[in-house]
Amino acid sequence: MDVLERIDQQVKGHPIVIYMKGTPQMPQCGFSMRAAQALGDTGVSFAYVNVLQDPEIFESLPRYADWPTFPQIYVDGELVGGCDITLELAASGELKTMMESAAAKHEAGTSESAG
């Protein structure tokens, strides 16, 4: 499978996903740490991809949504942005609303297709 197809499956297969350096428990850069913490503070579960463990994704992700830096946060299949945008959305309360909506939509779609 092509790396851009893998990225597309990850983005569309999870309601919320962060591509970051390291993991939420052990971030490897300050921007990734702050963004993952903001996501975690919402109380909504999210997926993550450690780009340092997957060189193909590290090299190709900037082409996927034309965003050059890490972290990259996707909610409901759409690029939200990086650390600064995520922190602004968290401060306004919008991040939690977006994440809750995406999680509920994903869960509804999952239960419908399973039935």
Binding-site residue numbers for [2Fe-2S] cluster are: 29
The helix/strand/coil state of 10 is helix
Q: How would you write 36-99 as a 3-class SS string?
A: HHHHHHCCCCCEEEEHHHCHHHHHHHHHHCCCCCCCEEEECCEEEECHHHHHHHHHHCHHHHHH
Binding-site residue numbers are: 29
